[in-house]
Amino acid sequence: MKHKVVIFCGSSRAGKTTLAKLSHDHSKIYKGLIFEGLFPAYLSRFSYMFGKYHKGLFSEYMTRARFIDESKSKTTTPKEQLGKVGKYKGSFLSSLDNAFGDKWAIADLHAELYYKALLRSNPDIHFCLVIRDPRDCVCAGLYWQDLPKAIEVRKSWFYKKLFSWILSAHMAQKIKKTYPDNITVVNFNQLIENKNPPEFLGFDNAWEKDIPKWDIYYSHKGKGLFSTPNRGEYKELLTERDIFIIQELCADYMKQYNYKRDNFTSSNIYILRIIKIFILGLSELSPSLARGGIDLLFSPRQHAKKQQDRLKQFIKDIKNF
Protein backbone atom coordinates (compact mmCIF):
# COMPACT_ATOMS: atom_id res chain seq x y z
CA MET A 1 0.00 0.00 0.00
CA LYS A 2 1.32 3.46 -0.92
CA HIS A 3 0.56 6.46 1.28
CA LYS A 4 0.84 10.14 0.44
CA VAL A 5 2.17 11.20 3.84
CA VAL A 6 4.26 9.23 6.34
CA ILE A 7 5.08 10.40 9.86
CA PHE A 8 7.84 8.55 11.70
CA CYS A 9 6.83 8.90 15.35
CA GLY A 10 7.33 7.33 18.76
CA SER A 11 9.36 7.90 21.91
CA SER A 12 12.78 9.53 22.04
CA ARG A 13 15.85 7.55 20.89
CA ALA A 14 13.64 5.00 19.12
CA GLY A 15 15.09 5.41 15.61
CA LYS A 16 12.76 7.96 13.99
CA THR A 17 15.48 10.29 12.75
CA THR A 18 17.45 7.34 11.32
CA LEU A 19 14.43 6.21 9.29
CA ALA A 20 13.77 9.74 8.06
CA LYS A 21 17.39 10.13 6.93
CA LEU A 22 17.30 6.73 5.21
CA SER A 23 14.06 7.72 3.47
CA HIS A 24 15.57 11.01 2.36
CA ASP A 25 18.57 9.26 0.81
CA HIS A 26 17.20 5.90 -0.31
CA SER A 27 13.43 5.86 -0.69
CA LYS A 28 12.21 5.71 -4.28
CA ILE A 29 8.86 7.06 -3.10
CA TYR A 30 9.33 9.45 -0.17
CA LYS A 31 11.66 12.25 0.81
CA GLY A 32 12.39 12.32 4.53
CA LEU A 33 12.27 15.47 6.65
CA ILE A 34 13.20 15.98 10.31
CA PHE A 35 10.77 18.15 12.31
CA GLU A 36 11.72 17.41 15.90
CA GLY A 37 8.95 18.67 18.19
CA LEU A 38 6.94 20.17 15.34
CA PHE A 39 3.42 18.89 15.83
CA PRO A 40 3.26 19.21 19.63
CA ALA A 41 4.34 22.85 19.34
CA TYR A 42 2.46 23.69 16.15
CA LEU A 43 -0.89 22.29 17.28
CA SER A 44 -0.67 23.92 20.71
CA ARG A 45 0.03 27.42 19.41
CA PHE A 46 -2.83 29.86 19.83
CA SER A 47 -2.37 31.20 16.31
CA TYR A 48 -3.06 27.71 14.95
CA MET A 49 -6.74 28.47 15.58
CA PHE A 50 -6.70 31.34 13.09
CA GLY A 51 -6.12 30.38 9.49
CA LYS A 52 -4.70 33.69 8.29
CA TYR A 53 -1.76 33.37 10.71
CA HIS A 54 -0.75 29.88 9.55
CA LYS A 55 1.59 31.31 6.92
CA GLY A 56 3.77 32.90 9.59
CA LEU A 57 3.86 29.66 11.59
CA PHE A 58 4.76 27.72 8.49
CA SER A 59 7.67 30.05 7.70
CA GLU A 60 8.84 29.90 11.32
CA TYR A 61 9.00 26.11 11.42
CA MET A 62 10.46 25.73 7.94
CA THR A 63 13.48 27.81 8.97
CA ARG A 64 14.06 26.36 12.44
CA ALA A 65 17.24 24.27 12.64
CA ARG A 66 17.07 20.68 13.92
CA PHE A 67 19.81 18.28 14.94
CA ILE A 68 20.20 15.48 12.41
CA ASP A 69 22.85 13.26 13.99
CA GLU A 70 23.17 11.25 17.18
CA SER A 71 25.97 13.41 18.58
CA LYS A 72 24.05 16.67 18.09
CA SER A 73 26.87 18.10 16.01
CA LYS A 74 25.00 18.77 12.76
CA THR A 75 21.87 20.79 12.12
CA THR A 76 19.69 21.54 9.14
CA THR A 77 16.39 23.25 8.48
CA PRO A 78 13.44 21.74 6.61
CA LYS A 79 13.85 24.54 4.06
CA GLU A 80 17.46 23.45 3.45
CA GLN A 81 16.36 19.84 3.12
CA LEU A 82 13.63 20.73 0.66
CA GLY A 83 15.68 23.12 -1.41
CA LYS A 84 13.22 25.41 -3.13
CA VAL A 85 10.04 25.64 -1.06
CA GLY A 86 6.74 26.35 -2.76
CA LYS A 87 4.33 29.01 -1.61
CA TYR A 88 2.23 28.58 1.50
CA LYS A 89 -0.98 26.88 0.49
CA GLY A 90 -3.71 27.01 3.10
CA SER A 91 -2.27 24.79 5.86
CA PHE A 92 1.02 23.37 7.01
CA LEU A 93 0.35 19.92 5.58
CA SER A 94 -1.00 21.15 2.26
CA SER A 95 1.98 23.51 1.97
CA LEU A 96 4.32 20.55 2.38
CA ASP A 97 2.38 18.85 -0.41
CA ASN A 98 2.91 21.93 -2.52
CA ALA A 99 6.63 22.04 -1.72
CA PHE A 100 7.37 18.34 -1.81
CA GLY A 101 4.82 16.80 -4.10
CA ASP A 102 2.55 13.91 -3.17
CA LYS A 103 5.06 11.77 -1.29
CA TRP A 104 6.91 12.99 1.78
CA ALA A 105 7.82 11.65 5.21
CA ILE A 106 8.43 13.47 8.50
CA ALA A 107 10.19 12.36 11.68
CA ASP A 108 8.68 13.95 14.78
CA LEU A 109 8.75 13.08 18.47
CA HIS A 110 5.45 11.71 19.81
CA ALA A 111 3.38 12.88 16.84
CA GLU A 112 1.17 9.84 17.53
CA LEU A 113 -0.27 11.71 20.52
CA TYR A 114 -1.92 14.09 18.04
CA TYR A 115 -3.23 11.45 15.65
CA LYS A 116 -6.85 12.64 15.75
CA ALA A 117 -6.03 16.25 14.86
CA LEU A 118 -3.57 15.18 12.18
CA LEU A 119 -5.98 12.73 10.54
CA ARG A 120 -8.68 15.39 10.54
CA SER A 121 -6.25 17.65 8.66
CA ASN A 122 -5.18 14.92 6.25
CA PRO A 123 -6.83 11.47 6.15
CA ASP A 124 -3.96 10.19 3.96
CA ILE A 125 -1.45 10.35 6.81
CA HIS A 126 0.20 7.06 7.69
CA PHE A 127 1.89 6.79 11.09
CA CYS A 128 5.07 4.73 11.04
CA LEU A 129 5.43 4.31 14.79
CA VAL A 130 8.93 3.19 15.74
CA ILE A 131 9.32 0.83 18.72
CA ARG A 132 12.73 0.04 20.16
CA ASP A 133 13.65 -2.11 23.18
CA PRO A 134 12.56 0.02 26.19
CA ARG A 135 15.86 -0.73 27.94
CA ASP A 136 17.70 0.75 24.96
CA CYS A 137 15.48 3.84 24.80
CA VAL A 138 15.66 4.58 28.52
CA CYS A 139 19.43 4.07 28.67
CA ALA A 140 20.05 6.14 25.53
CA GLY A 141 17.77 8.87 26.83
CA LEU A 142 19.76 9.02 30.07
CA TYR A 143 23.30 8.88 28.71
CA TRP A 144 23.05 10.31 25.21
CA GLN A 145 23.89 13.82 26.44
CA ASP A 146 25.62 12.71 29.66
CA LEU A 147 22.64 14.10 31.52
CA PRO A 148 22.41 12.02 34.72
CA LYS A 149 25.04 13.90 36.74
CA ALA A 150 23.03 14.18 39.95
CA ILE A 151 20.97 11.34 41.43
CA GLU A 152 17.79 13.46 41.42
CA VAL A 153 18.17 14.35 37.74
CA ARG A 154 18.93 10.76 36.76
CA LYS A 155 15.93 9.43 38.66
CA SER A 156 13.45 11.90 37.15
CA TRP A 157 14.77 11.34 33.62
CA PHE A 158 14.68 7.58 34.05
CA TYR A 159 10.97 7.65 34.86
CA LYS A 160 10.16 10.28 32.23
CA LYS A 161 11.79 8.21 29.49
CA LEU A 162 10.19 4.99 30.74
CA PHE A 163 6.62 6.27 31.00
CA SER A 164 6.92 8.14 27.71
CA TRP A 165 7.92 4.83 26.08
CA ILE A 166 4.92 3.11 27.69
CA LEU A 167 2.58 5.86 26.49
CA SER A 168 3.90 5.56 22.94
CA ALA A 169 3.51 1.75 22.91
CA HIS A 170 -0.02 2.15 24.26
CA MET A 171 -0.87 4.66 21.51
CA ALA A 172 0.41 2.22 18.89
CA GLN A 173 -2.18 -0.31 20.05
CA LYS A 174 -4.91 2.32 20.29
CA ILE A 175 -4.36 3.66 16.77
CA LYS A 176 -4.20 0.12 15.36
CA LYS A 177 -7.66 -0.57 16.80
CA THR A 178 -9.31 2.61 15.51
CA TYR A 179 -7.31 3.37 12.34
CA PRO A 180 -5.63 0.08 11.31
CA ASP A 181 -4.98 1.31 7.76
CA ASN A 182 -3.21 4.42 9.01
CA ILE A 183 -0.42 2.88 11.08
CA THR A 184 2.56 0.56 10.71
CA VAL A 185 4.58 -0.32 13.80
CA VAL A 186 8.29 -0.81 13.09
CA ASN A 187 10.44 -2.78 15.52
CA PHE A 188 13.70 -0.86 15.14
CA ASN A 189 15.82 -3.61 16.71
CA GLN A 190 14.53 -6.16 14.20
CA LEU A 191 14.88 -3.72 11.30
CA ILE A 192 18.56 -3.15 12.09
CA GLU A 193 19.27 -6.82 12.71
CA ASN A 194 17.21 -8.32 9.86
CA LYS A 195 17.60 -5.39 7.43
CA ASN A 196 13.99 -5.69 6.34
CA PRO A 197 12.27 -2.27 6.16
CA PRO A 198 8.52 -1.88 5.55
CA GLU A 199 7.83 -2.47 1.88
CA PHE A 200 5.74 0.68 1.45
CA LEU A 201 8.81 2.89 2.11
CA GLY A 202 10.34 1.73 -1.16
CA PHE A 203 14.00 1.68 -0.09
CA ASP A 204 16.57 1.03 -2.79
CA ASN A 205 19.13 -1.77 -2.54
CA ALA A 206 21.85 0.58 -1.28
CA TRP A 207 20.07 1.63 1.92
CA GLU A 208 21.88 -0.92 4.10
CA LYS A 209 25.24 0.82 3.70
CA ASP A 210 23.89 3.87 5.53
CA ILE A 211 22.53 2.01 8.55
CA PRO A 212 24.36 3.41 11.60
CA LYS A 213 26.72 0.92 13.19
CA TRP A 214 24.63 -0.74 15.89
CA ASP A 215 27.47 -0.92 18.40
CA ILE A 216 27.66 2.88 18.68
CA TYR A 217 24.16 2.97 20.16
CA TYR A 218 23.36 2.43 23.80
CA SER A 219 22.16 -1.09 23.13
CA HIS A 220 21.19 -3.65 25.78
CA LYS A 221 23.44 -6.70 25.74
CA GLY A 222 21.98 -8.53 28.75
CA LYS A 223 22.45 -8.49 32.53
CA GLY A 224 22.41 -4.71 32.66
CA LEU A 225 25.29 -4.29 30.18
CA PHE A 226 25.00 -1.77 27.34
CA SER A 227 27.19 -0.88 24.42
CA THR A 228 28.43 2.72 24.36
CA PRO A 229 29.55 5.10 21.60
CA ASN A 230 33.12 3.89 22.29
CA ARG A 231 33.35 0.89 20.00
CA GLY A 232 33.71 -2.43 21.77
CA GLU A 233 33.00 -0.92 25.19
CA TYR A 234 30.26 -2.38 27.40
CA LYS A 235 29.16 -0.87 30.69
CA GLU A 236 26.58 -1.57 33.38
CA LEU A 237 24.65 1.64 32.83
CA LEU A 238 21.38 0.60 34.48
CA THR A 239 21.05 -1.12 37.85
CA GLU A 240 19.31 -4.45 38.41
CA ARG A 241 16.37 -2.55 39.91
CA ASP A 242 16.23 -0.25 36.87
CA ILE A 243 16.07 -3.22 34.52
CA PHE A 244 13.48 -4.96 36.71
CA ILE A 245 11.24 -1.87 36.75
CA ILE A 246 11.42 -1.49 32.96
CA GLN A 247 10.72 -5.17 32.35
CA GLU A 248 7.79 -5.32 34.77
CA LEU A 249 6.04 -2.15 33.60
CA CYS A 250 6.65 -2.98 29.93
CA ALA A 251 6.10 -6.74 30.21
CA ASP A 252 3.17 -7.03 27.77
CA TYR A 253 4.82 -4.83 25.16
CA MET A 254 8.17 -6.60 25.46
CA LYS A 255 6.45 -9.93 24.92
CA GLN A 256 4.58 -8.53 21.92
CA TYR A 257 7.79 -7.33 20.26
CA ASN A 258 9.91 -10.36 21.27
CA TYR A 259 12.29 -8.61 23.63
CA LYS A 260 13.89 -11.15 25.97
CA ARG A 261 13.91 -10.39 29.69
CA ASP A 262 16.81 -10.56 32.10
CA ASN A 263 16.17 -12.49 35.31
CA PHE A 264 16.60 -10.16 38.27
CA THR A 265 15.30 -10.29 41.84
CA SER A 266 11.85 -8.75 42.16
CA SER A 267 11.14 -5.65 44.24
CA ASN A 268 8.09 -3.62 45.24
CA ILE A 269 6.90 -1.29 42.47
CA TYR A 270 3.27 -0.94 43.58
CA ILE A 271 3.26 2.87 43.35
CA LEU A 272 4.78 2.78 39.86
CA ARG A 273 2.02 0.41 38.72
CA ILE A 274 -0.56 2.90 40.01
CA ILE A 275 1.18 5.72 38.12
CA LYS A 276 1.09 3.62 34.94
CA ILE A 277 -2.66 3.07 35.34
CA PHE A 278 -3.13 6.80 35.94
CA ILE A 279 -1.08 7.82 32.87
CA LEU A 280 -2.80 5.37 30.53
CA GLY A 281 -6.21 6.33 31.94
CA LEU A 282 -5.41 9.98 31.31
CA SER A 283 -4.44 9.13 27.75
CA GLU A 284 -8.02 8.02 27.09
CA LEU A 285 -9.08 11.63 27.70
CA SER A 286 -6.12 13.25 25.97
CA PRO A 287 -2.80 11.62 24.96
CA SER A 288 -1.00 14.97 25.06
CA LEU A 289 -2.42 15.60 28.53
CA ALA A 290 -1.03 12.23 29.62
CA ARG A 291 2.43 13.26 28.43
CA GLY A 292 2.08 16.51 30.33
CA GLY A 293 1.14 14.45 33.37
CA ILE A 294 4.44 12.54 33.07
CA ASP A 295 6.37 15.82 33.04
CA LEU A 296 4.36 17.15 35.98
CA LEU A 297 5.00 14.05 38.10
CA PHE A 298 8.70 13.64 37.42
CA SER A 299 9.96 17.11 36.41
CA PRO A 300 7.59 19.61 38.04
CA ARG A 301 10.00 22.54 37.70
CA GLN A 302 10.66 21.86 34.06
CA HIS A 303 6.93 21.38 33.49
CA ALA A 304 6.20 24.73 35.16
CA LYS A 305 8.84 26.38 32.95
CA LYS A 306 7.26 24.89 29.82
CA GLN A 307 3.83 26.18 30.84
CA GLN A 308 5.32 29.60 31.53
CA ASP A 309 6.94 29.63 28.09
CA ARG A 310 3.67 28.53 26.54
CA LEU A 311 1.83 31.39 28.27
CA LYS A 312 4.44 33.87 27.00
CA GLN A 313 4.02 32.53 23.48
CA PHE A 314 0.23 32.73 23.87
CA ILE A 315 0.50 36.42 24.84
CA LYS A 316 2.92 37.04 21.97
CA ASP A 317 0.51 35.44 19.50
CA ILE A 318 -2.36 37.53 20.86
CA LYS A 319 -0.34 40.74 20.38
CA ASN A 320 0.43 39.76 16.80
CA PHE A 321 -3.26 39.62 15.88
CATH assignment of the domain containing 147: 3.40.50
Residue 164 phi, psi (nearest 5): -65, -40
pLDDT digits 0-9 by tens, 17-59: 889 889 988 998 887 777 665 666 666 665 555 656 667 777 7
Domain housing 133: 5-319
Q: What is the pLDDT of residues 85-105, one digit of tens each?
A: 666 666 666 776 776 666 788
pLDDT tens for the 321 residues of the chain, in order: 568 889 999 998 899 988 988 998 899 888 777 766 566 666 666 555 565 666 777 777 777 777 666 556 677 777 777 666 666 666 666 776 776 666 788 888 899 999 998 888 788 889 999 999 999 999 998 887 666 665 667 888 999 999 999 999 999 999 999 999 999 999 999 988 888 888 999 999 899 888 876 556 788 988 888 988 777 788 899 999 999 999 999 999 999 999 999 887 778 899 999 999 999 999 999 998 999 999 999 988 887 888 887 788 777 777 766
Q: CA-to-CA distance for 182 and 155, rounded, in angstroms?
A: 36
Cα 292-65-23 angle, rounded to 5 deg: 90
pTM score > 0.85 for this model? yes
Tally of domains in the chain: 1
Are 218 and 231 spatial neighbours (Cβ–Cβ below 8 Å)? no
